[in-house]
Amino acid sequence: MSKYLNEKFRSLVEYVPGEQPKDGEYLKLNTNESPYPPGPRTRAALRDPDLGKRLRLYSDPDSGELCRKLAETYGASRNVSAAAAPAGASAAGTKTAAGGLAPENVYVGNGSDEILNFIFMEFCEGGVLFPEISYGFYEVFADLYGVDFVKVPLKEDFSIDPADYADCGRTIVIANPNAPTGRVLSLAEIEAILKTNRENLVVIDEAYIDFGGDSAVALTGDYDNLLVVRTYSKSRSMAGARLGFAMGAKAIIDDLVKIKYATNPYNVNSLTAAAGLAALEEPGYYRENCRQIQETRNWTTEALTDLGFRVVPSTTNFIFVTTDRIGGSELYQGLKQRKILIRHFDIPAIRQYNRITIGTRRQMEYLVETIDRMLGEEQL
């Protein structure tokens, strides 16, 4: 720490990302990346020679084309009631002719982390509420901006009780499905939270929604206190491109844009924008990857259950597991020695657990075999 660092940051505890070893020696099941590469059209877009030449220019600060295409893609999933409303009638902003989302309802950012950063910076002066066990960055952002936060305990089975979030008088941030537990709230439960918090912003972080569960995008037409945050990092295999987006009422999107123009107007670079746009042209490819991951998740759940693990029901691309056969930290360390990385959190309530990203079927077979062998050796 230098002597120049501002006093207020001296005690800040940063977010610790999962390990990213450089040697390629490890089977990486620790950061919920996709085991599949981006689709052929997405990769072809990056090889476009014009794109390379255009890099001398700044990227589009509005990410206009991407916002338009995202609005078109996700607008189709809005509520029937919203879709039936006359154009421009909703509090959630201008409607397209078809009644879906308008580009003004979409914000794109440098990963969803950037969007979450802005949310804690600009919407939380009245305090924020989030689940006690959830994405670790929420607390870091709250500390960074000196935001008063309340952490709501989960139920014993790691599920969120929507009643805990009723009429809470502050901003709410919920990862749905939640991480690292993998548990999901239904759309009806999300709607119950929205209904009793009409005056509070409700942020639903849907980093993992494509692997199961219903997106709250369907509710953005009816609730102008809802902001849905999504990412290309998981189901669209683009963690390295850093692309996230948010959907909600035009007024909220305008506020995000305001902070973007006050910090980093060219937040989405041209290469990422081109890849992000192309990915929307091949939804079938990504849908099939999600299906494979769901199938492999189910297989892994059964295989680990057979080995004596308890697996929290997951609707994500990871599973949260524990066993009486070995300590949580010991399992993590043992697998690391065997060149497999999983994620262990040194937090008392979940110290006995590990989060395991779902890879390909072969990778998961290798994981299960390795655990089986390791536990056998432990008993000798």
Q: Give the footprint of ligand PMP on this chain (CB under 6 A).
A: 111-113, 135, 175, 179, 205, 207, 231, 233, 239, 244
Nearer to ligand PMP, 95 or 297 (CB): 297
The span from the CA of 365 to the CA of 234, in Å, is 21
The span from the CA of 58 to the CA of 67, in Å, is 17
Nearer to ligand PMP, 242 or 250 (CB): 242
Q: What is the largest CA-CA distance in the chain?
A: 71
Shortest reach from residue 244's CB to ligand PMP, in Å: 4
Shortest reach from residue 230's CB to ligand PMP, in Å: 8
Per-position b or e across 56-89, b if 16+ CB within 10 A of its CB: eeebeeebeebbbbbbbbbbeebbeebbebeeee
Letter for the amino acid at 304? Answer: L
Shortest reach from residue 135's CB to ligand PMP, in Å: 4
The span from the CA of 68 to the CA of 277, in Å, is 10
Nearer to ligand PMP, 101 or 140 (CB): 140
Question: How far is CA 364 from each of CA 70, 249, 367, 372, rounded to the nearest angstrom?
Answer: 33, 41, 5, 12
Q: Give the residue from 363, 343, 359, 375 showing the smallest Cα distance to 136.
A: 343
Contacts 24+ apart (CB under 8 A), 10-16: 12/140, 12/143, 12/144, 13/140, 13/143, 14/140, 15/136, 15/137, 15/140, 16/136
Shortest reach from residue 18's CB to ligand PMP, in Å: 8
Q: Give the residue from 314, 31, 345 showing the smallest Cα distance to 159.
A: 314
Shortest reach from residue 69's CB to ligand PMP, in Å: 18
Nearer to ligand PMP, 225 or 237 (CB): 237
Shortest reach from residue 375's CB to ligand PMP, in Å: 28
Letter for the amino acid at 351? Answer: R
Shortest reach from residue 138's CB to ligand PMP, in Å: 9
* Strand partners for 244: 109, 231
Nearer to ligand PMP, 90 or 158 (CB): 158
Nearer to ligand PMP, 318 or 332 (CB): 318
- Alpha carbons within 13 angstroms on the beta-carbon side of residue 314 total 29
Nearer to ligand PMP, 197 or 357 (CB): 357
- Alpha carbons within 13 angstroms on the beta-carbon side of residue 96 total 19
Nearer to ligand PMP, 140 or 340 (CB): 140
Shortest reach from residue 333's CB to ligand PMP, in Å: 22
DSSP 242: -
Nearer to ligand PMP, 309 or 318 (CB): 318
Shortest reach from residue 53's CB to ligand PMP, in Å: 28
Residue 72 φ/ψ region, left for φ over 0, alpha for ψ in the -120 to 50 degree band, beta for the rest:
alpha
Number of Cβ within a 10 Å radius of residue 51: 15
